Structure formats: C-alpha cells, structure tokens
Amino acid sequence: MTAKENKIMDINDIQKTVKRIAYQIHETNFEEKQLVLAGIKENGLILAERIQKELNNIADLEVILIAINIDKKNPREEISMSKPLTFCENKSVVVVDDVLNTGSTLIYAVKNFLSIKVNKLQTAVLVNRNHKNFPIKGDFKGISLSTSIKEHIDVRFGKAEGVYLS
C-alpha cells in the first residue's frame, strides 16, 4: 500500500460481501437447478470462485464455474471461455467481475451470451463505480462508490487482500 492509497475494504469486509452477494444470487435464482458463474479473468474469476463456494454452502443448486478471457484494454477483441458458449444454453448465467468502472468489459462479456437462449443473464461485481460509459449495471454489487474520474479502484486478492482507492 502506497502513501496515496486508502484501504476501503479489508479481507473480512470482502468475505462478508461475498457471502451477501451469494445470498442475493440464491434468492433471485432459487427456482433454478443449475447456475453458471462466468468469472472474467483474473479477479472476476477469483470472485466467482468465492461466490461459488458460498452458494455451495447455502443452496441446493449445481453451480458451474466458467472462466471468461477478455482483453480489458480492448474488450471488442475475441472473447474465449473455458467451456463452449452453447454449454450455457437454457441456464441462468451470472457474469462476475471485480470492479464495474466504465462498463466496457462487462458489457462485452454480457454481449457474448446474447447469441444464445439463457434463462436469466445477470451481473455481479464487488465494487460498482458511478462512471459508466455503457448502459450496464451490477445486479448484485458489494459496494457502490462515487469517485472522481482521476481516482482508481484496485482489488487485490491473496497477499495484501483488500479494495484500495488511489
């Protein structure tokens, strides 16, 4: 952590938030038999894994984890997934990322699922910023922050785990 960084969530805050998001996802999808959590690599996938663990503890639901590979600097480029897109047909899908900034990464990840029939298509983020350039929202969100455009949100998992504002 540098002198200009402020830690706004610690490991305990993240754990509580992940649990709350998992309960919200379960409440919205309680009639489903299967649920796909599609985590955007890297941090979105880590978050999706943690949500999956919580859902496995609270729900009688098969939770399937899929990794989405997307170039966050150029999300229009080809997107690949750890399972074929057709695997998600007729299932409820939650696309997971750590931070919803401008919305470009999340909207292109969601767009990927619009070419097939899904039961539901939702999004989950740990941090929702209010500087979106695209019409997308986090259906399940940990915290919402109104920050300046110059400020940066950094989510770290593992060593020095936390959410930092700089």
Indicate the range of 35-49, 87-101, 123-137 predicted with least confidence.
123-137
Handedness of CA 78, 84, 88, 90 (dihedral sign): positive
Write down the pTM of the prediction.
0.94
CATH number at residue 145: 3.40.50.2020
60 lies in a domain?
yes
Q: Give the alpha-carbon dihedral of 50, 141, 38, 32, to 10 degrees.
A: 90
Could you tell me the pLDDT band of residue 14, with boundaries at 50, 70 and 90?
Answer: very high
14 lies in a domain?
yes
- For residues 152-166, give the mean pLDDT: 95
109 lies in a domain?
yes
Which stretch of DSSP H or E encloses residue 67?
Answer: strand 62-69
Give the C-alpha separation, 151 to 38, whole Å: 27
1 lies in a domain?
no
93 lies in a domain?
yes
What is the per-residue pLDDT for 163?
97
pLDDT digits (tens, 9 = 90+) for 124-153: 999 999 778 899 999 999 999 988 888 899
How many domains does one find in the chain?
1
The boundaries of the domain holding residue 17 are: 6-165
